[in-house]
Structure 1
Amino acid sequence: MEAGKVINLVQEPEVFYRIQNKYDRIISVLGGSTQVSQVVNSDIDLIKITRKGLPTSVVSTLSKVLGISMEKMSNLLHISHRTIQRKGSNDLLNVYSTEQILEIADVISRGIEVLGTLDNFTAWLHSEVRALNYAKPLDFLDTSFGTKLVKDILGRIEHGVYS
């Protein structure tokens, strides 16, 4: 991997598992550094990206990573599917959608770290979880409180607490 270039999880999943930097993993989930068009080394950089907006094309990338339809993805972002379709792939999303996408990417990164592979994580994400009253973690990714709850459960799993 070239210095300063972050790979794309969808295209090179085996390389993703060797990435140690939290920010590089998040950018990889979103389609790599060319997709995000900014180097990310800190939470300050994530805030800058949030304020600027991510390109609409990351919505499609994220739906593929999660194994969900674009309709479901648009529901997680509280944007109509038609609105996403109307936008060009380089059009920027608003602050709220960008922030939700970054939070979801962080959950995916954390989930892969805890559960070992993207396949294990997505299987868990689509399963009914006791700690969520037998609801699917995927259904909680539409709010910041929900993403925090899912990350908390992943932390409990990592520490061997039955969840």
Structure 2
Amino acid sequence: MTVRMVNERLGGYGVLKHRVNTDFDLAYLATNGVPKASIQHLASSIGMDPKEIIDLLPVTSRNLQRYEEEDLLSNVVSDHLIALADLFSVGVNVLSKDYFKSWLTSPVPSLGNECPIHFLKTHAGIELIKTELGRIEHGIFA
């Protein structure tokens, strides 16, 4: 995980109100919560609608409506948002922003012709997609 890239995708110091330089800083954020505004920043960084990101999080959109932009998300939601930011950083690095966004919603034969985005609701699924991106990066199209 590139801490700097995750930090930028979540809005940086201006949104997080915390310096993120190390994995320890990310662990601190996951434990203590990231602001709701980070969802918008993550969505914007990849060119997605925030609703698409919210659909991937372990929280209902109705519950999130009660939050102000600066309110901190739970540690479970924050941890998942950080994992998505990491995955998106890897994906953009491997495929480019536009192609990665398209790839997420296209059937992939090595994933049983499922769209990668369908796997992003769990950490196991995120790791599966990161592994797939690693294969692509190294020219292994299984």
* 1:69 positional shift: 4.9
TM-score normalised by structure 2 residue count? 0.91
Structure 1, unaligned runs of 5 or more = 1-20
Superposition map of 1:9-24 within 5 A: 22-24=2-4
Cα offset for 1:145? 0.3
Q: Tell me: higher relative CO, structure 1 or 2? Use CA pairs within 8 A at least 6 residues apart.
A: 2
The answer to whether structure 1 residue 67 and structure 2 residue 48 are counterparts is yes
Q: What root-mean-square deviation, in Å, do the aligned CA atoms of Structure 1 and Structure 2 show?
A: 1.6
Indicate whether 1:153 and 2:126 are aligned.
no
1:114 and 2:94 correspond: yes
Deviations 1:63-109 (A, max 9, x none): 33352451x33331121111111110011000100000000000000
Identity %: 33
Question: Which aligned segments of 4 or more residues in structure 1 are displaced greater than 2 angstroms?
Answer: 60-66, 72-75
Which stretches in structure 2 are left out of the alignment for 5+ residues?
none
1:79 partner SS: coil
Aligned residue pair count: 141
TM-score by length of 1: 0.80
Q: Indicate the residue corresponding to 1:92 in structure 2.
A: 72
Are 2:22 and 1:42 aligned? yes
